[in-house]
Chains A and B, each alone.
Chain A
Amino acid sequence: MTNDVIKEAVAKQQSGDRKLIADNSVLGKAMTFNIGDQVYGIEIQYVKEIIGVQRITKVPHVPSYIKGIINVRSKVVPIIDIRTRFGKPEIPYTNRTCIISLELGDVSVGIIVDSVADVADIHTGEISATPDNHAVNTNDFIQYMIRSDDTTKLILDVAKLLDEQDI
């Protein structure tokens, strides 16, 4: 989703116009997953597949959050551990640990997550911009948030995740 769409959705809610606030159309879908007790999401168009954790071949001379490379049907895919990337402590992999394979243009990576939750609709009314508070907004990787019921899902900015130089 482009930043303009998000801004528009946020603006609608803050407009005070009851009709606009009531607009709750579906903008897209997000694949959600857990890291610790926080729910994150990735817009579905970037998700190629979900694979179980397999043996990861380490690659020397790369940052520690790049766990290595794996073989996905004869394609070599680099693996990023989201926990390490966000500066959270590592935990041992369980049978719920998954690799979500992402694709943006011709770059593909897999990210390791604690467990996959489900696929949720993104409604206009639920979107809110990220706060400037960096405690929540880890390294600017969050593009926007979805508030629904009592949970807040943080939607990752895939372009930034794949493109970010070392900070």
Chain B
Amino acid sequence: MAKIEPGMEAMLDMYFYETNSLLEQLDEILLRTEQANAFESDDIKEIFRIMHTIKGSSAMMGFDNLSVLAHKAEDMFFVIRENPDVITDVSFVYDLVFQVSDSYKAQIEAIQNNVGGEYELTDFDDLIDKLMKGRDTLLGETSGAAPAPASNEKPKTTVKVYFEEGCQMENLRAFLLINTIRDDCSFLEFTPNDVETNSESSKIIMEQGFLITFVPIDDTDSILKQVESALNVQAYEVGETGDSSKPAAAPVPAAELPPEPETVKETIPEVAAPAPAPTPAPAPTPTAPTAIEKAQAAVAQAQASSGAQKQSLISVNLAKLDALHDIVGEIITTESMVISNPDLEGLELESFNKAARELRKLTSELQDTVMSIRMVPLAGVFQKMNRIVRDMRKKLGKEVDFVIEGEDTEVDKSIVDSLQDPLMHLVRNCMDHGIEEHVEDRINAGKPEKGTLKLIAQNASGEVIITVSDDGQGIDPEKIMNKARRQGILTKPESEYTEKEIQNLILLPGFSTNETVTEFSGRGVGMDVVKANIEKCGGVIIVDSTKGEGTSFIIKIPLTMAIIDGMEVTCGDLVFTVPISTIKQSFKAESSQMLRDTGGNEMIMIRGVCYPILRMHEKFGIETEVTNLEDGILLLVEADNKAVCLFADKLIGEQQVVVKPFPKYLSRYNIKDEGLSGCTIMGDGSISLIVDTNTLIG
């Protein structure tokens, strides 16, 4: 058991955020390269950097086990990095690194759940053992493979050196640099080549950099080190000439040295404004740096690198965005109050109106911008599905192509967070139940051997539609019916169920057709949780399946929960907002359309279909003079594949409204279960109640 040191708590958030995003990055690289079945040297460097940063920050936070684990993983990649050709069989590397990544996530979650309390430090001995073995295997391969490239003629290496801006006399500095490395090179060439005599060349160096081509006597790294530590060198770029297949060894400092800023910049010398601290590279400190120093250096490196690469990104506390969003909502309401102020009525206000229009334009722009800040792409969630498919593919032995489309579709941050679990369930279900167990079954059905699992997101008129589909065996309505009968979840005679309704039975609580519970699914808690989660963020889920051809789960979610398009209707002295997305039609009723069923319930016939009528004034207990159906207005609303006609007094019009939850004091009364989801402040400052079509109908 361990506890977080008191002084460290403030940094925990940052640590979690940073480590989690690094791990996600790691997963992404692994998945990408696994498909290509080869590590690019850039990828290896990146993995190395991630491990190094995690090692450093974990050590700083006092999570020694994590630090050691990262260190061992780093060791393994050290071998790979130094000898990129040695990897003959990479699959075990992937398995190992995925295990490392999982262990990390598990441990971090454990810590996160117990902030301030005690938490268990997992022992990673097994994994570390495996990593060591992995490294040894790789080393074994190295000793066999390494001599081959070494016996080749040494390749020429080209380095482009950039000096600090404004350091002056670039040509002489370049000359000094050449003199320093001359003794260690068997071949040396540089452009411009008249640096010693021609002071004009400093201009060229300033603009285009100083180009050195050399063949080292010993190794390239030692030369690069010299270049790196030369005075006033700001950045350098390593290129390659010659015909050797051996890629340039990257001059990243050895793992145990504090990383110098240059290592970061060398990969991105084009960045115009480099991260702060462009001091000349300090020569490696002779004394061994302490763990803390190392850790800080690693953090600094991470910050510098992320600062340089993703300069345009900052991370902001979500609470601040929420506050900003609230204020903008208030500004818009207040603006309407000012512009349509009753005091102004009947006045000729030409310039006022002009200014007001300008203001309205700006505030709506402001609102759009604030909304867009909260929008994040679905890519993060989708990438995680990649991982799940990968794992299940291995465990279940099913050959599946996983296709992702539209991952850059953007959705409100809060919605993205609540989408992850449902999507995970759906993807698992498709893998487990959807795709056929045996390849023969697929071949017999005339389908390609390899199954296809698609995850598609698209934008459609204020909604995002996410489809999870497979080309597997589809849903067998008979099986579903049998199961439902046994579970006793049928609510009406069997013959009345349409195929669509039968398919949607699988979304009910306690329904699971899989006879045996597997690791991935079959406990019957999956689908109804999926449904509940999606409904929680204002979305709906529909099952669409054809037996033998496949199953699609279609999820429709709003772009944001905070602003909806609403239709304002009055009922008595109250104003209600009905979400436009649920309204199919609004119309005046005629007496010829009215019906009553045997229970005396009012119904209305529209184009041959009968819909029940829900009188809002009765439902919400409002006094109104409009009680005759022909005098008021009817709204045909649909949700959950059910439809009713709402009866209200009068239509006011369409309006975009900012959804506000009911005050906390009222949460003890179940207003929400009675079909009202919240309220909104309208332009004139009065309050309108937002109808929740789902619960109203259900």
Chain A interface residues toward B at CB < 8 A = 55, 57-63, 66, 69-71, 73-74, 76-78, 106-109, 162, 165
Contacts and interface: CB of A to CB of B under 8 A. Distances in A.
B310 interface: no
B620 A60 contact: yes
Interface in B649-698: 660, 662-666, 668-671, 674, 676, 679, 681, 685-689
Nearest to A68: B687
A59 B689 contact: yes
B671 A60 contact: yes
B451 interface: no
A77 to B, nearest CB: 6
Contacts of A106: 664
Nearest 10 CB-CB pairings of A with B: A60-B620, A74-B330, A57-B687, A78-B663, A61-B674, A62-B669, A78-B665, A107-B664, A109-B665, A71-B681
B504 interface: no
B695 to A, nearest CB: 12
B689 A57 contact: yes
Contacts of B255: none
A7 B326 CA distance: 43
Given A60-B621, A61-B670, A71 B685 contact: yes
Contacts of B674: 60-61
A66 B666 contact: yes
A62 B676 contact: no
B574 interface: yes
B665 A108 contact: yes
Contact of B329 (A55, A69, A74): A74
A122 B686 CA distance: 38
B676 A60 contact: yes
A76 B660 contact: yes
Contacts of B334: 74
Interface of B: 326, 329-330, 333-334, 573-575, 619-622, 660, 662-666, 668-671, 674, 676, 679, 681, 685-689
Contacts of A58: 573-574, 622
27 contacts: A57-B679, A57-B686, A58-B622, A59-B671, A59-B676, A60-B621, A60-B622, A60-B671, A61-B620, A62-B671, A66-B669, A69-B662, A69-B679, A70-B687, A71-B686, A71-B687, A74-B334, A74-B681, A76-B687, A78-B662, A78-B665, A78-B666, A107-B664, A107-B665, A108-B663, A108-B665, A109-B663
A62 B686 CA distance: 19
A111 B458 CA distance: 48
Contacts of A108: 663, 665
A69 B671 CA distance: 13
Contacts of A57: 574-575, 679, 686-689
B665 to A, nearest CB: 5
A66 B671 CA distance: 13
Q: Would you call the interface of chain B mostly helix, strand, loop, or mixed? A: mixed
A76 B573 CA distance: 18
A61 B671 contact: yes
Contacts of B329: 74
A162 B573 CA distance: 27
Contacts of B620: 60-61
A77 B663 CA distance: 6
Contacts of A63: 669
B621 to A, nearest CB: 5
Most chain B beta-carbon neighbours within 10 Å: one of A57, A162, A165: A57
A74 B333 contact: yes
Nearest to B658: A74
Nearest to B669: A62
Contacts of A73: 330
Contacts of B666: 59, 62, 66, 69, 78
Nearest to B663: A78
A70 B575 CA distance: 13
B574 to A, nearest CB: 6
Given A57-B686, A109-B665, 11 more contacts: A58-B622, A59-B662, A59-B671, A59-B689, A60-B621, A61-B669, A69-B666, A77-B663, A78-B662, A107-B665, A108-B663
Nearest to A105: B664
Nearest to A104: B665
Nearest to B574: A58
A61 B675 CA distance: 10
A78 B666 CA distance: 7
Nearest to B334: A74
B486 to A, nearest CB: 38
Contacts of B671: 59-62
Contacts of B668: 165
A21 B573 CA distance: 57
A74 B327 CA distance: 9
A71 B689 CA distance: 12
A59 B671 CA distance: 8
Contacts of B330: 73-74
Nearest to A61: B674
Contacts of B669: 61-63, 66
A70 to B, nearest CB: 7
Contacts of B573: 58
A58 B662 CA distance: 12
A55 B681 contact: no
Nearest to B332: A74
A69 B663 contact: yes
Contacts of B662: 59, 69, 76, 78
A73 B573 CA distance: 22
Contacts of B689: 57, 59
Most chain B beta-carbon neighbours within 10 Å: one of A59, A106, A108: A59
